[in-house]
Amino acid sequence: MRVRGYPSELVRRAVAPVVVLLVLVLPGPARAQAQGQVSPATRAALHDALDLNAPAPPRAPSLPDARTPLTPAPQAPSSSAAVDQAKGAAASQGAKDGRQNQVDAANRVAQEAAGASAHGADASSDAAAREVKGGQAKMNGGKGKGPPPNPGNSNH
Amino acid sequence: MAALRAAVLALAVAAAPAAESHLLEGARLFRAEQYAAALVEFRVAAALGAQEALWYSAASLLKLGRAEEAVEGFAEAAAAAPAARDGLLDYYRAQACHALRLYLCADALLASVAEQAGPRIGGHARTMRAAIAAELVPDRLPAAIDWYLARGRELAARRPLLAAAYLEEAAGLGLRLTSAYRRQEALDALAKLRGAPPSGKR
């Protein structure tokens, strides 16, 4: 007999195995991610990396006054806006298209970043471009796609 | 129905580790001091749904010397993934505030860092707090408040998150003076900023 307000037997039979499968089959990190969380192991790796490279206390503070320029001087080693936009585009594009296209998006980041530095960006943006390029080329490693890293492009 | 079940499972398994793998790769690159590449990984992870990655993106921006973007990034992370906040991330955020001369912002964060973080970071936090306390002498505050207000207003239309940080600093410093110097102006500007629809960062 079916009680009003309860799911039908058919629905329960369909849903229950899916729930059981998700709990049993998904590995820990995947399960955490499915819940919008990061697994403890990944968080530990992130924490360890941040702790290792935590900045030391900066120079003594200095309150601004009437002589302080409103617009701060460019901060080294910042990368150019073009490199930055390319990175953001790669991130969102990668999310849209899925894993394979993330590789393509990463390649575009590398190309655009390299292009930005070739068109008059400063030395720091060039360094950032090389970093991105190297990192993304490594991402492509083993997948047989994308340009190889270009370690020769470092004659600054 | 069986096909639907299989599809759901396959999607969950396939999508879930993707963000996780980008986070792990970002951690490895950050550890290797390749912050620009780490930033890309963290941004991809965030775009794939791991909101916690926003914190690490902001930390990478700080390490790249892009403190303004870091302050904005930390504000976004705090709104999107407040549960991921911890003493170490607060320390990075305090450093970003400090780099922009947002000393009250830095001090408030460092107060909790000194209690939550380990002995090394906690020691750094105490050192920074002592230096900030020595700098915030009342006779220098009015000129500083003028500057923070001007900077906040200048940024209000283009970068509301950053503008809010400067205006909050002005309001907070105003509270330290018996005259509450220009505090109401700062609060009014903040209210106007928050009442207006977001206009993007750039």
Q: What is the pLDDT of residues B30-54, one digit of tens each?
A: 999 999 999 999 999 999 999 999 9
Judging contacts by C-beta atoms under 8 Å, the chain A residues touching residue B101 are 61-64
pLDDT band of A75, cuts 50, 70, 90: low
Judging contacts by C-beta atoms under 8 Å, the chain A residues touching residue B96 are none
- Determine whether B179 is exposed, middle or buried from the number of CB atoms within 10 Å of its CB (0-12, 13-18, 19+): exposed
The CATH superfamily of B14-85 is Tetratricopeptide repeat domain (1.25.40.10)
Contacts of residues A37-43 at CB distance under 8 Å and 24 or more positions apart, as own/partner, are: A37/B52, A38/B20, A38/B23, A38/B50, A38/B52, A38/B84, A39/B20, A42/B20, A42/B23, A42/B24, A42/B27, A43/B52
C-alpha B73/C-alpha B79 separation (Å) is 10
Q: Which residue has the tokens 């283009």?
A: B158
C-alpha A115/C-alpha A117 separation (Å) is 5
Closest residue to A26, CB basis, from B13, B33, B121: B13
Q: Crossing angle, helix B35-47 and helix B2-31, to 10 degrees?
A: 160
Q: Does the structure show a pLDDT above 50 at A156? A: no
Res B17: pLDDT: 72
**Residue A31 maps to a domain:** yes
Task: Give the pLDDT mean for B179-195.
Answer: 95
Q: Under 8 Å CB-to-CB from B114, ≥6 apart: which residues?
A: B122, B125, B126, B129
**Residue A4 maps to a domain:** no
What does B94-109 look like in DSSP terms, one character per residue? HHHHHHTT-HHHHHHH
A45 in contact with B, Cβ within 8 Å: yes
- Do residue A86 and residue A43 come from a single domain? no
* Of the candidate ranges A67-76, B10-19, B129-138, B173-182, the one whose mean pLDDT is the lowest: B10-19
Res B137: pLDDT: 95
CA angle A44, A48, A53 (to 5 degrees): 155
Picking from B153, B132, B152, the residue whose alpha carbon sits closest to that of residue B141 is B132
Task: Give the pLDDT mean for A67-73.
Answer: 84
B190 in contact with A, Cβ within 8 Å: no
Note the Cα B73 to chain centre separation in Å: 5
Q: Quote ipTM for the complex.
A: 0.86
Could you tell me what percent of chain A has a pLDDT over 70? 24
Using an 8 Å Cβ cutoff, are A51 and B116 in contact?
no
Q: Does the structure show a pLDDT above 60 at B152? A: yes
Q: B174: part of which helix (H) or strand (E)?
A: helix B160-174
* Of the candidate ranges A6-20, A26-40, B57-71, the one whose mean pLDDT is the lowest: A26-40
Picking from B30, B199, B9, the residue whose alpha carbon sits closest to that of residue A49 is B30
**Residue A124 maps to a domain:** yes
Minimal CA separation from A146 to chain B, in Å: 16
Q: Under 8 Å CB-to-CB from A153, ≥6 apart: which residues?
A: A114, A130
Picking from A99, A126, A84, the residue whose alpha carbon sits closest to that of residue B57 is A84
Q: Do A139 and B25 lie within an 8 Å CB cutoff?
A: yes
* Of the candidate ranges A128-142, B82-96, B113-127, the one whose mean pLDDT is the lowest: A128-142
C-alpha A136/C-alpha A131 separation (Å) is 8
Task: Give the pLDDT mean for B110-138.
Answer: 94
Q: Which residue has the tokens 């002498």?
A: B137
Q: Under 8 Å CB-to-CB from A5, ≥6 apart: which residues?
A: none
pTM summary value = 0.68
**Residue A156 maps to a domain:** no
Domains in chain B: boundaries: 14-85, 87-136, 138-195
Q: Do A72 and B68 lie within an 8 Å CB cutoff?
A: yes
Minimal CA separation from B197 to chain A, in Å: 23
* Cα nearest neighbour of A42 on chain B: B24
B131 in contact with A, Cβ within 8 Å: yes
What are the φ and ψ backbone dihedral angles of B124, each rounded to 5 degrees? -60, -45
**Residue A41 maps to a domain:** yes
For A92-124, the pLDDT digits (tens) are: 555 544 544 454 445 444 444 444 433 333 334
Q: Does the structure show a pLDDT above 50 at A153? A: no
Q: Do A38 and B36 lie within an 8 Å CB cutoff?
A: no
Res A27: pLDDT: 54
Could you tell me what percent of chain B has a pLDDT over 90? 85
Between B106 and A143, where is the model more confident?
Answer: B106
Q: Do A91 and B47 lie within an 8 Å CB cutoff?
A: yes
For B2-13, the pLDDT digits (tens) are: 555 555 444 444
Minimal CA separation from B65 to chain A, in Å: 6
Judging contacts by C-beta atoms under 8 Å, the chain B residues touching residue A49 are 27-28, 30-31
Supply the range of the domain harboring residue A17.
Answer: 9-50
Q: Under 8 Å CB-to-CB from A93, ≥6 apart: which residues?
A: A101, A102, A105, A108
Task: Give the pLDDT mean for A84-89.
Answer: 51
Minimal CA separation from B9 to chain A, in Å: 7
Closest residue to B20, CB basis, from A33, A63, A135: A33
The half-sphere exposure of A150 on its side-chain side, counting CA atoms within 13 A, is 14
Res B195: pLDDT: 87
* Overall number of domains in chain A: 2
CA angle A120, B72, A44 (to 5 degrees): 100
Res A41: pLDDT: 95
C-alpha B36/C-alpha A84 separation (Å) is 9
For B155-164, the pLDDT digits (tens) are: 999 999 999 9
The conformation of residue B198, written as its DSSP 8-state character, comes to: P
| A 9-28 → B contacts, CB under 8 A | 14, 17-18, 21-22, 25-27
Closest residue to A21, CB basis, from B9, B68, B118: B9
pLDDT band of A38, cuts 50, 70, 90: confident
Res A37: pLDDT: 73
